[in-house]
Amino acid sequence: MAIIRSPNEKHSFSAETAGHLPAWVNPDLDRLMVIKKVEGDFRSWAESLVDLPAGAVFARITGVTPVSLPSWSSVQAGRNLHLELNSNLVFVNHSCAPTLEWDMERMEVRVSRNRDLRKGDLLSFFYPSTEFEMAQPFDCWCGAGDRCFGRVEGAAQLGVERLGGYWINGNLSISLLPKT
């Protein structure tokens, strides 16, 4: 009988029972999200397959690889720590009105605190919430109206006041951010 360890290693489950556990306990992103792929660079996205209340854990972040230099596909998890996700979480795109929050200290993805997640919702997070300096800033087309920043750069370029109202990872030292 195969034993599957949970992300926090406190519990183990048999292969037969693991499939009945919620995907956020037994990480199986195929039960949580579907990837929509379109030809061309940076044109694919992820959609939710589940309904979850605001603030709920969506998934644990597992199977990552530390990298020495940040890239468009890495996520900052510490002052000098960037991680490649090695999973379909890489298809969760940016939005200035995100559906998810990425907590890199707890290594979990949560539903945004100010809205429920519904099946079919686009999965998105606010990139500056994890990135102090972005390897590849870009023009935003998220469609969040007057909430849209227009240009997505790391938190260092946005300033404390502009970041107000967004959940920001603790590894991004607010004291280093410029006042705007």
Encode pLDDT of 58-105 as tens digits. Answer: 999 988 999 988 998 999 998 889 999 999 999 999 999 999 999 999
Q: 94-133 burial by CB neighbour count: b if 16+ within 10 A, else e? A: bbbebbbbbbbeebbbbbbeeeebeeebbbbbbbbbbbbe
> Which of the two residues, 152 and 4, has the higher pLDDT score?
152
- Residue 8 pLDDT greater than 50, yes or no: no
Pick among 3.40.50.2020, 1.10.287.610, 2.170.270.10, 3.40.190.10: CATH of 23-169:
2.170.270.10
pLDDT of residue 19: 52
Strands 138-139 and 33-36, bridge-based pairing: unpaired
* CA distance linking residue 112 with residue 146, whole number of Å: 19
User: How do residues 122-179 score in pLDDT, each as one tens digit?
Assistant: 999 999 999 998 989 999 988 899 889 899 988 988 878 888 888 899 887 655 555 5
User: How do residues 18-48 score in pLDDT, each as one tens digit?
Assistant: 455 455 454 579 899 999 987 766 678 999 9
Q: Which pTM value belongs to this model?
A: 0.80
